[in-house]
A = this chain, B = another copy of it.
Amino acid sequence: MKVTISKQQLNKAIQSVIRVVEHKSAIPVLNGIKLLVDEKGMTITGCDTEMMIQSYIPLHIDEKENMYIHTSGQGVLNAQVFNEYVRKISVDELEIHIDDKFQGKIRANKTDLKINGYDPLEFPAIPDFFPDQSFVISSHILKQLIRQTVFAVSSNEQSPILTGVNISLQQGILKSIATDRHRLASIQYKTDSTAEFHQLVISARALQELNKLLPEEDTMVQIMFKDNQILFKFNEILLYSKLLDGTYPDTERIVQNAANFTTEIVISTELLIDTMERAMIMSRKEKGNVVNMYSLDDETIEFTSSSTEFGKFKESLSTGKPLQNPVRVSFNSKFLIDVLKVMDSEFVKIGLSGDMNPIYIHPTEVHDDYQTVHLILPYRTARENV
């Protein structure tokens, strides 16, 4: 293949795919980035053993020509060197030539770069997707689904299924759930979709990459899936990922029970984040990152944390409305901060039903189009700590 291509378009496409490419994969070809040129444009692909991202550069965008194709074909070049070089060369266009021995030659201005390549036939391909099922969703909704849940996945590889977010669509209700057994985050949307599926568990990493690739402006994303694979398609981007295997735990009952809390605290989201961040200075080096919360009277909540090495923290906050019952509970302060940061609400409602039952966190501002549920399990040695 040989092509003369806009540096800006090429760079943009490379940036979309480069993050999934490993630097030192034991499988040499996975250190590469694949370029495929046909009569319609250039497709750039990066992948690892779990996922793959493709970015497409069409011949023209509006009236502007992006490339001149001398000969079509394909090749795989070392991703790190190719990426850095394209970023560091200040020209409008550059010429890429990949020969039959997989070697790349890049020419721009008075520069000449030879990059070692790999056999493109060894590069993984995206499986054919004549999908069993597919549906279409707004990128803004998809971003919200990810944002409200992905922080709560487990980082423990011993329960692989919990390192992903579980997405389901039943009777028009699109649900996204994440839990690491100590907390749970979920969001649901009402859609017009007639598609139905029970469990698609997508790795947090794939969702985080997807989230970075989704554009600012709202766009439609097509989602296709079959067997244990999923494909997201929007604009010039295509993200493919394996789904996580296993049975996702049933969380229906715990969510329903937690919604029946007996005491409700309403408190400023911003002030509570600040207080938690100060409390964490003491708690974060201690087991469980524990902060204790209890009512001083029916309109004041006190938070404490302590560290044998560093000292003790104590701070009180006023509640937005009187408490029905006294409060006394302990929990991981980092978990609460994670939830508060996605609340998008000036005040937050914290529902409690005893010091052993899940803490229910909810924005006071109701969103028409979606509903979230966030739960944190109390720290069990609460009584000893307070």
Chain A contacts to B: CB under 8 angstroms: 78, 80-81, 84-85, 88-90, 103-104, 110-116, 274, 277-278, 281-282, 309-317
Contacts and interface: CB of A to CB of B under 8 A. Distances in A.
User: Can you list the 9 inter-chain pairs with the closest CB atoms, starting with the nearest?
Assistant: A111-B315, A112-B314, A114-B312, A115-B311, A114-B311, A110-B316, A81-B310, A84-B281, A116-B311
A149 to B, nearest CB: 28
A313 B82 CA distance: 12
18 contacts: A81-B281, A81-B282, A81-B311, A84-B281, A85-B278, A88-B274, A88-B277, A89-B278, A103-B311, A104-B311, A110-B316, A112-B313, A112-B314, A113-B278, A114-B311, A114-B312, A114-B313, A116-B310
Contacts of A115: 310-311
A299 B293 CA distance: 75
A386 to B, nearest CB: 16
A281 B278 CA distance: 44
State the main secondary structure of chain A at its contact with B: mixed
A363 B342 CA distance: 53
A274 B116 CA distance: 22
Contacts of A277: 88
**Chain B CB within 10 Å, residue with most, of A104, A112, A309:** A112
Contacts of A84: 281
A104 B115 CA distance: 61
Contacts of A281: 81, 84-85, 88
Given A81-B281, A85-B278, A281-B81, A311 B90 contact: no
Contacts of A110: 315-317
A90 B274 CA distance: 9
B88 A278 contact: yes
A309 to B, nearest CB: 7
A317 B315 CA distance: 64
A310 B112 contact: no
A315 B113 CA distance: 8
A78 B116 contact: no
Contacts of A114: 311-313
B113 A312 contact: yes
A90 B275 CA distance: 10
A278 B111 contact: yes
A226 to B, nearest CB: 38
A82 to B, nearest CB: 9
A62 to B, nearest CB: 31
A108 to B, nearest CB: 9
A103 B81 CA distance: 55
Contact of A314 (B111, B282, B309, B316): B111
Given A274-B88, A274-B90, A112 B81 contact: no
A232 B383 CA distance: 54
A307 to B, nearest CB: 8
Contacts of A282: 81
Contacts of A314: 111-113
Nearest to A313: B113
Given A315-B110, A315-B111, A116 B278 contact: no
A35 to B, nearest CB: 15
Nearest to A308: B116
A330 to B, nearest CB: 18
Given A78-B309, A115-B311, 10 more contacts: A80-B310, A81-B311, A88-B278, A103-B311, A104-B311, A110-B316, A113-B312, A113-B314, A114-B313, A115-B310
